[in-house]
């Protein structure tokens, strides 16, 4: 495999600063990813599809949209069609949301370095919600970038990079050099007038699990910053190049793996408690894929970087094949699994992981629409977790881990199963919940994760931004609009809770923090992206080999 041929550079064209990052994003992948398996997804040519050409003219020009989305500095109001501009009156809660977001800012020696997880004064139990979580800061960072305030993002990236350099231990065991913190906290000493930082790499976290997602989010955010500002000096700095390589060393190392997916412990990402997400959870695989692609666009092909570039290209090739084939579930695939033979030996096996058809849960037969599909929660030997996880599926769309057909199918499923997956408050973290005996076994009787609560089928407003981004990418902004309307109808009255409970997501979560920062930032990011879809270039990656098919959905006219 070949490495980079040319170093990253800034090219100035007219009034736009075009960073070559956008070209590099797709350069390798075109060769790296093999032709996607053509999925047979029946889609009737509906009125909605026919009017796609109108959509292309009125909303986003299909050819130019993605290029536009990739160019930093191109989000001029002139690029936003009138129809869109006119339809978005500023909602009265936007100002309130910005105020709350700014209130959550954390300063280190006078410089903003992040936002705390929740600014909930009413809550007696602070726990670690007064810390800056890496994953929680992502929507805050995107909001600041979209608002033309990149400094806090740069400071955050540099501060967490410093923390990565710390020696990390749990008891007597030393963690890998590349591990990024789950969270950090700034301690102000008013007497000595000094600021110090404490960080948590999993050694304080409930369950003592290192956050696998932090490093991935860090790389994704570094690219978002670079894309949005056109400033290549940060990502090209020796410190950032090293930081990326250290993260990649953790997940590209060779070992006993027989699959290209990343093996990890329960609770190592957004779902940071025991919830049966150990093994090869979709969220981690999608973030892994996305960060590999982001790193590929930023790594310099120098002596140290070249080897990583080669390893990334190979891994992407294998990972996309594995995910698109073995994690994908639609009506046809479900029927095939239902009819699987077991105990097949040798490479001719169809049922490669020896999944027992009897282990397919009842609910999935009714849940699966004729049109639509999704990446299941987990695939490992004799174990398929059929649960739907929102974040993993949305990130799969954004990173182009999902083929265009798969992306459309995921959106179709969301529409078909709106009641179940969105309900009254976007968006279910996973579906369905687990209860009874299964809950006891899988969660270890976790009282916070009771059925339809928190990580166990709870509804998380933060997920609105990932849904909105996926909607824009697939050309279905109307779905996002619908979800935003739901949020706007009550979230400010409920004081921006962390999560909602219940089958429909109707109740403010049992132990939900109020003024949860990522609920606030997620809303702002969703609004800004809908207003100006070119923002999506910061967090979306195209695969030019797979021509994006932007189609209208059946619900377009809703
Ligand atoms: C909860 C969430 C986790 C989040 C943290 C801070 O632990 O599960 O994803 O990062 O709160 O908001």
Angle between helices 404-416 and 390-399 (to 10 degrees): 150
pLDDT value of residue 206: 75
pLDDT value of residue 203: 86
CA of 221 to the centre of ligand 1 (A): 18
Q: For residues 474 and 230, give the distance between their C-alpha atoms in angstroms, rounded to a whole number.
A: 25
Q: Does position 47 have pLDDT exceeding 60, yes or no?
A: no
Q: Find where tokens 């058809």 sit.
A: 357
Q: Which residue has the higher pLDDT, 254 or 471?
A: 471
Q: Which of 326, 344, 430, 331 is nearest to 380 (CA)?
A: 326
Q: Which residue has the higher pLDDT, 83 or 167?
A: 167
291-346 pLDDT, tens digit per residue, is 999 999 999 999 999 999 999 999 999 999 999 999 999 999 999 999 998 888 88
136 lines ligand 1 (CB under 6 A): yes
Cβ-contact 244, 219 below 8 angstroms: yes
Q: Which residue has the higher pLDDT, 128 or 104?
A: 104
Q: Does position 181 have pLDDT exceeding 70, yes or no?
A: yes
Q: Which residue has the higher pLDDT, 59 or 174?
A: 174
pLDDT value of residue 51: 28
114-127 pLDDT, tens digit per residue, is 999 999 766 666 66
217 lines ligand 1 (CB under 6 A): no
48 lines ligand 1 (CB under 6 A): no
394-403 pLDDT, tens digit per residue, is 999 999 999 9
CA of 290 to the centre of ligand 1 (A): 21
- Report the atom number in ligand 1 closest to the C-alpha of 271: 8
Task: Please spell the DSSP secondary structure of 416-478, one letter per residue.
Answer: HTHHHHTTTSS-BSEES---HHHHHHHHSS-GGG-TTBTTBT-B-GGGHHHHHHHHHHTT-HH
Q: Which of 209, 199, 208, 105 is nearest to 159 (CA)?
A: 199
CA of 84 to the centre of ligand 1 (A): 34
Cβ-contact 508, 500 below 8 angstroms: yes
Weakest-pLDDT range from 21-25, 35-39, 463-467: 35-39
- Report the atom number in ligand 1 closest to the C-alpha of 118: 12
CA of 214 to the centre of ligand 1 (A): 12
Mean pLDDT (whole number) for 68-76: 38
Q: For residues 6 and 17, give the distance between their C-alpha atoms in angstroms, rounded to a whole number.
A: 18
pLDDT value of residue 69: 38
pLDDT value of residue 453: 98
Task: Please spell the DSSP secondary structure of 339-383, one letter per residue.
Answer: T---S--STT-SSTT---GGGS-HHHHHH--SS-EEE-SEEETTE
Single pTM value for the model: 0.84
Q: Which residue has the higher pLDDT, 5 or 291?
A: 291
Residue to probe by mutation, ligand 1, list 116, 136, 510, most atoms within 8 Å of CB:
136
Tell me how crowded residue 10 is: count the other CB atoms within 10 A of its CB. 15
pLDDT value of residue 394: 98
Q: Which residue has the higher pLDDT, 82 or 12?
A: 82
Q: Assign 436 a pLDDT band (cuts: 50, 70, 90).
A: very high
280-294 pLDDT, tens digit per residue, is 999 999 999 999 999
- Report the atom number in ligand 1 closest to the C-alpha of 128: 6
pLDDT value of residue 208: 85
Q: Find where tokens 């600021």 sit.
A: 195
Q: Does position 90 have pLDDT exceeding 90, yes or no?
A: no
484-502 pLDDT, tens digit per residue, is 999 999 999 999 999 999 9
Q: Does position 82 have pLDDT exceeding 60, yes or no?
A: no
Task: Please spell the DSSP secondary structure of 61-90, one letter per residue.
Answer: -HHHHHHHHHSTT---GGGS-HHHHHH-PP
Q: 250: burial class by Cβ within 10 Å (0-12, 13-18, 19+)?
A: middle
pLDDT value of residue 268: 95
CA of 504 to the centre of ligand 1 (A): 21
Residue 269 token pair? 């990402």
356-402 pLDDT, tens digit per residue, is 999 999 999 999 999 999 999 999 999 999 999 999 999 999 999 99
Percent of the chain past pLDDT 90, that is, above it, reads 73
Q: Does position 511 have pLDDT exceeding 70, yes or no?
A: yes
Mean pLDDT (whole number) for 47-73: 32
CA-nearest residue for atom 6, ligand 1, is: 117
Q: Which of 179, 141, 151 is nearest to 163 (CA)?
A: 179
pLDDT value of residue 55: 30
CA of 74 to the centre of ligand 1 (A): 34
pLDDT value of residue 58: 29
Q: Assign 347 a pLDDT band (cuts: 50, 70, 90).
A: confident
Q: For residues 295 and 34, give the distance between their C-alpha atoms in angstroms, rounded to a whole number.
A: 19
- Report the atom number in ligand 1 closest to the C-alpha of 133: 10
Residues 6+ apart with CB under 8 A from 508: 494, 497, 500, 501
Mean pLDDT (whole number) for 504-509: 98
Q: Assign 515 a pLDDT band (cuts: 50, 70, 90).
A: very high
Residue 106 token pair? 């954390």
Q: Does position 11 have pLDDT exceeding 70, yes or no?
A: no
Instruction: Tell me the average pLDDT of the chain.
Output: 85
Beta partners for 337?
A: none
Residue 152's alpha-carbon distances to 129, 137, 229, 451, in angstroms, are 19, 10, 13, 38
417-428 pLDDT, tens digit per residue, is 999 999 999 999
197-243 pLDDT, tens digit per residue, is 999 998 887 778 999 999 999 999 999 999 999 999 999 999 999 99
135 lines ligand 1 (CB under 6 A): yes
């Amino acid at each position: 495999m070949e490495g980079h041929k040319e170093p990253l550079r800034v090219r100035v064209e007219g009034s736009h600063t075009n960073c070559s990052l956008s070209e590099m994003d797709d350069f390798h992948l075109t060769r790296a990813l093999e032709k996607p398996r053509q999925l047979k997804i029946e889609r009737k040519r509906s009125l909605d599809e026919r009017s796609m050409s109108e959509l292309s003219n009125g909303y986003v020009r299909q050819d130019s949209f993605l290029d536009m989305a990739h160019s930093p500095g191109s989000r001029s109001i002139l690029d936003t069609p009138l129809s869109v501009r006119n339809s978005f009156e500023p909602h009265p809660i936007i100002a309130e949301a910005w105020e709350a977001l700014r209130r959550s800012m954390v300063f280190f020696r006078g410089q903003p370095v992040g936002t705390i997880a929740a600014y909930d004064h009413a809550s007696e139990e602070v726990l670690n919600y007064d810390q800056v979580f890496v994953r929680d800061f992502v929507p805050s960072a995107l909001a600041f970038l979209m608002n033309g305030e990149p400094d806090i993002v740069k400071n955050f990236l540099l501060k967490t990079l410093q923390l990565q350099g710390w020696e990390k231990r749990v008891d007597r065991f030393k963690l890998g050099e590349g591990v990024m913190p789950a969270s950090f906290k700034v301690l102000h000493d008013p007497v000595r007038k000094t600021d110090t930082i404490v960080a948590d790499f999993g050694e304080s976290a409930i369950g003592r699990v290192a956050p696998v997602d932090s490093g991935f989010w860090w790389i994704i955010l570094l690219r978002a910053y670079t894309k949005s500002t056109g400033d290549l000096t940060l990502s090209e700095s020796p410190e950032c190049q090293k930081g990326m390589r250290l993260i990649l060393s953790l997940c590209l190392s060779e070992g006993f793996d027989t699959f290209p997916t990343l093996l990890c412990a329960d609770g190592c990402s957004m779902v940071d408690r025991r919830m049966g997400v150990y093994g090869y959870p979709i969220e981690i695989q999608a973030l892994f894929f996305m960060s590999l692609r982001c790193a590929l666009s930023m790594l310099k092909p120098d002596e140290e970087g070249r080897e990583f570039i080669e390893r990334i290209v190979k891994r992407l090739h294998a990972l996309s094949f594995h995910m698109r084939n073995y994690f994908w579930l639609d009506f046809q695939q479900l029927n095939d699994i239902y009819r699987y033979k077991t105990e097949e030996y040798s490479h001719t096996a169809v049922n490669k992981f020896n999944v027992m058809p009897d282990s397919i849960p009842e609910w999935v037969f009714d849940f699966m629409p004729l049109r639509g599909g999704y990446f299941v929660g987990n695939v490992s030997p004799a174990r398929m977790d059929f649960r739907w996880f929102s974040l993993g599926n949305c990130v799969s769309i954004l990173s182009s881990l999902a083929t265009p057909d798969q992306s459309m199918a995921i959106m179709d499923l969301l529409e078909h199963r709106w009641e179940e997956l969105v309900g009254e408050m976007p968006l279910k973290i996973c579906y369905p919940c687990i209860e009874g005996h299964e809950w006891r076994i899988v969660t270890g009787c976790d009282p916070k994760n009771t059925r339809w609560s928190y990580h166990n089928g709870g509804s998380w407003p933060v997920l609105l931004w990932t849904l909105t981004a996926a909607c824009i990418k697939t050309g279905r902004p109307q779905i996002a609009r619908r979800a935003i309307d739901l949020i706007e109808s009550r979230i400010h009255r409920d004081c921006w809770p962390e999560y909602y409970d219940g089958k429909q997501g109707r109740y403010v979560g049992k132990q939900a923090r109020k003024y949860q920062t990522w609920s606030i930032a997620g809303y702002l990011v969703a609004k800004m992206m809908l207003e100006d879809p070119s923002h999506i270039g910061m967090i979306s990656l195209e695969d030019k080999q797979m021509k994006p098919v932007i189609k209208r959905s059946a619900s377009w006219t809703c």
